Amino acid sequence: MAAIPAKPRYYTVTWDQLHRDGKALAWRLVERGPFRGICAITRGGLIPAAIVARELECRIIETVSVVTYDEEARGEPRVVKAPAAAGDGEGWLLVDDLVDTGTTARVVRALLPRAHFATIYAKPQGRPLVDSFITEVSQDTWILFPWDTEPQFIPPIARSAGK
């Protein structure tokens, strides 16, 4: 008998929770600073980087943009905007919302090998690539960030599990 494929797990993050987790990340990072600047991995790292920058009183913000997938398909990672101001990352803080499989993290680590890499959320496959994170979630969990969702009714877990 074939195994029934598991339904994906979802972990919904609200704006309030993201703000609290961003502040928790800043608490974890404050003793590692001061940082010369913060480099946000776009797009998911923009809001966490803004929260951390405010809490660490860091005003120099750079971005790096790596495209690895869209809503339809995953492809080879492409750097579409390099972090020119951050050099090799010495003294810089690199911030993203999540490290998942590590595909983006490996690309950015190669660009900024000396940066301190921090994410709010980490999955097991990508966790070894970051220096600091706040919350670990299972590899099969899809995190629903507030910029990707809108409020709607969700049936109880037991109902969706067929109980």
- Is 41 contained in some domain? yes
pLDDT at 43: 93
117 and 69 Cβ atoms separated by less than 8 Å = no
- Is 32 contained in some domain? yes
Q: Catalytic positions, please? A: 96-97, 100
112 and 141 Cβ atoms separated by less than 8 Å = no
Count of structural domains, the chain: 1
pLDDT at 130: 97
- Is 77 contained in some domain? yes
Residue 140 belongs to domain spanning: 10-149
- Is 156 contained in some domain? no
55 and 66 Cβ atoms separated by less than 8 Å = no
pLDDT at 157: 80
pLDDT at 153: 83
How far CA 62 is from CA of 12, 56, 92, 93, 115, in Å, comes to 28, 15, 10, 10, 12
- Is 61 contained in some domain? yes
Q: What is the pTM of this model?
A: 0.85
DSSP assignment of 21-54 equals HHHHHHHHHGGG---SEEEEEETTTHHHHHHHHH
Per-residue buried b or exposed e for 125-163, using 16+ beta carbons within 10 Å of the residue's own CB: ebbebbebbbbebeeeeebebbeeeeeeeeeeeeeeeee
pLDDT at 163: 58
- Is 2 contained in some domain? no
One pLDDT digit (tens) per residue for the chain, 163 residues: 555 556 778 999 999 999 999 999 999 999 998 999 999 999 999 999 999 999 999 999 999 999 986 656 667 888 999 999 999 999 999 999 999 999 999 999 999 999 999 999 999 999 999 999 999 999 999 999 999 888 888 788 888 766 5
pLDDT at 72: 63
- Is 35 contained in some domain? yes
Domain at 142, CATH number: 3.40.50.2020
- Is 158 contained in some domain? no
